[in-house]
Amino acid sequence: MPKTLIVGEIQGGSLRESTLELVALARGLGGDVVSVLLGSGIGGTAEELSNKGGGKVLAADHAGLEQYSADGYASVIRQAIEQESPDLILIGNTPSGWDVAPKLAAALDAGIITDVFKIEEAGGDLLFTRRLFNGKFDGQFRVAGTPKIATVQPGAINAYEGSDAGSVEALSAAPESRTKFLELRTAAAGGHDLTKAEIIVSGGRGLGKPENFEAVLKPLVEALGAQMGASRPVVDAGWLPHEYQVGSSGQVVQPKLYIAVGISGAIQHLVGMKNSNFIIAINKDPDAPIFEVADMGAAVDLFELVPALAKAVAAAKG
Q: Which residues bind ligand FAD (CB under 6 A)?
A: 115, 134-135, 204-206, 231-233, 245-250, 262-264, 266, 268-269, 272, 282-285, 288, 301-303
Give the nearest distance from C-beta 159 to ligand FAD in angstroms.
Answer: 19
Residue closest to ligand FAD when measured from CB atoms: 247
Q: Which residues contact 72 (CB under 8 A, 6 or more apart)?
A: 64, 65, 175, 176, 177, 179
- Closest by Cα among 276, 277, 299 to 289: 299
Give the nearest distance from C-beta 135 to ligand FAD in angstroms.
Answer: 6
Give the nearest distance from C-beta 297 to ligand FAD in angstroms.
Answer: 11
Nearest residue (CB) to ligand FAD, 175 versus 206 = 206
Do residues 86 and 195 lie in contact, with contact meaning Cβ atoms separated by under 8 Å?
no
Nearest residue (CB) to ligand FAD, 119 versus 266 = 266
Q: Can you tell me the distance from the alpha carbon of 284 to that of 273, in angstroms, rounded to the nearest whole number?
A: 20
Nearest residue (CB) to ligand FAD, 18 versus 50 = 18
Give the nearest distance from C-beta 5 to ligand FAD in angstroms.
Answer: 23
Q: Can you tell me the distance from the alpha carbon of 47 to that of 168, in angstroms, rounded to the nearest whole number?
A: 6
Nearest residue (CB) to ligand FAD, 77 versus 266 = 266
Q: 176 in the Ramachandran plot: left (φ > 0), alpha (ψ -120 to 50) or beta?
A: beta
Nearest residue (CB) to ligand FAD, 125 versus 295 = 295
Give the nearest distance from C-beta 283 to ligand FAD in angstroms.
Answer: 4
**Quick one: angle between helices 95-108 and 70-84, nearest 10?**
60
